[in-house]
Structure 1
């Protein structure tokens, strides 16, 4: 093969690689920007620091400390907001706290990523640790915060919300649940913040080994479409939409105020015989959680934010 032939062949190979990179789904180009293994490790650390996090407990205080410890750089800039409030519950007034971590973007608008960080209050007297139900998604948002610290949003601002009081204090109802996001939605309606929110996205129960994210019908249709596109972009479509149902979750107070909302949740958490066998039981433990599922969740969240920026 002469020099010209070798050069032509090399150019052909380079052009083929370039075309492949251009045609590759954009999310795969930034694949694993947040490590599922790192999120899993954070979940372990969170559970060790605050295994039982029901409101008013030492574990709840430890959980608050854990969150604040991971956002000291944002606190120094005034971008960690402590939102203390008092909620009227079936057992009286309870003090609760939301934490908001702000990562300013370059466009006018806010994408909110939210999760509850506490554990179920009625289960306070059993060994309920909420590894999937609150712990792993708290770890996921902390890891996403670390990513946005190093890679500031180039589109809309991204705000992380660690909300309190998602769980019922006595028995789930419209008045005994979602305390943190009901408070926050009302507060942001009053000060005008809510008009700047482009999407309010909830992370809930998306760490377990057999995860398949529910097509949640209280979510805004165009955001469900973006989540489906994100599944294709990231190669995770098999983790989406095997089941469909309406779920009452932290997005509802914002949906009621006409904010676009998306609940990223796998409500089925159990066995084929009993799809809710692990939900709100002592079986919701770290052995049910998978770094692979947390990787899928991290990839999807990053890609959905990117797609909303482009929407």
Structure 2
């Protein structure tokens, strides 16, 4: 009987060890990211210069009040005249010399300021994603590169999209970081845009760095998420471009097919009911795994 119990105990420990080894990866909490998105979008329209924009900035400062938060304030000329804008940078230090940037824009479209456009997916979902992402980095020194979460202002055009009327925050930050030497430390710039869509379909962007997109695809395969990534290609102008143009490895992770024939994009229908925690979980998992893979290079 004693021998049987000993054998049973050994077998139980072995089975437990196997089960532990085979346990799935801990997933990003898309439900929490969705809740942060809901709180942020409840502010309402947040176009540059609006009361909602001021509230959005206060919301971000509150989320990161105990972190290493930097505010990059600048004034830029636009078709509507000079505008003051603010980029927010939250820094989580790592042991390796270098930085991985995960970025989004947070404001809403200025030309749509009269239609109660709240940008749930377009600016909202990725803001919620990054706020929850901070919970994975907070309170410890990261084993790999430092991770900086960047909330960019002024991505949207003020009058109509053009090279000169768009990407105000990313243009300013890329130029600033080039001037002060920061850009040389950036190992990868990962941009999240419009990835809360229930019907997730992320494009492969021809303006992005191919090897970094390959790592994103590898990260998606790690979780069995291949079907959500890169079935379609496009050449996308987004906040990664000022960094690409300065030689920074960059990837735009964006779902440009928002509703049938992109029907919800830049309309009053870009609302919370179009988003899902599952899509945010998928995006969060892939970003975290991509960061891990960049650290291994």
**TM bracket, shorter-chain basis:** over 0.9
CA distance in 2, matches of 1:11, 1:240: 44
Residues 52-75 of structure 1 show CA distances to partners (whole Å, capped at 9, x for unaligned) of 01000000000000000000111x
Deviation (angstroms), 1:270: 1.3
Structure-1 residue corresponding to 2:39: 45
Tell me the number of residue pairs that the alignment of Structure 1 and Structure 2 aligns: 297
Deviation (angstroms), 1:244: 1.3
The answer to whether structure 1 residue 308 and structure 2 residue 297 are counterparts is no
Structure-1 residue corresponding to 2:53: 60
Deviation (angstroms), 1:304: 1.0
Structure 2: where are the runs of 5+ without partners? none
RMSD: 1.7
CA distance in 2, matches of 1:244, 1:13: 50
Report the secondary structure of 2:143's partner residue: coil
TM-score, with normalisation over the residues of structure 1?
0.91
Structure-2 residue corresponding to 1:96: 85
Deviation (angstroms), 1:152: 3.8
Structure 1: where are the runs of 5+ without partners? none
CA distance in 1, matches of 2:286, 2:182: 26
- Higher mean C-alpha displacement, 300-309 vs 129-138: 300-309
Report the secondary structure of 1:259's partner residue: coil
Aligned equivalent of 2:30, options 36, 39, 43: 36
Deviation (angstroms), 1:225: 1.1
Structure-2 residue corresponding to 1:285: 271
Residues 197-212 of structure 1 correspond to what in structure 2 (within 5 A)? 197-212=186-201
CA distance in 2, matches of 1:310, 1:5: 46
Deviation (angstroms), 1:6: 6.1
Residues 123-181 of structure 1 show CA distances to partners (whole Å, capped at 9, x for unaligned) of 00112110000011011111111221145421100001100000011111111110000
Deviation (angstroms), 1:18: 3.8
Residues 15-26 of structure 1 correspond to what in structure 2 (within 5 A)? 15=14, 18=17, 21-22=20-21
TM-score, with normalisation over the residues of structure 2?
0.95
Aligned equivalent of 2:63, options 70, 77, 101: 70
CA distance in 2, matches of 1:17, 1:177: 55
The answer to whether structure 1 residue 174 and structure 2 residue 163 are counterparts is yes
CA distance in 1, matches of 2:18, 2:221: 19
Deviation (angstroms), 1:16: 5.6
The answer to whether structure 1 residue 259 and structure 2 residue 248 are counterparts is yes
The answer to whether structure 1 residue 242 and structure 2 residue 231 are counterparts is yes
Report the secondary structure of 1:154's partner residue: strand
Structure-1 residue corresponding to 2:184: 195
Deviation (angstroms), 1:266: 0.6
Residues 16-43 of structure 1 show CA distances to partners (whole Å, capped at 9, x for unaligned) of 654565466xxx43x22x3111111111
Residues 181-229 of structure 1 show CA distances to partners (whole Å, capped at 9, x for unaligned) of 0000000000000000000010100001001211112111111111111
- Higher mean C-alpha displacement, 130-139 vs 233-242: 233-242
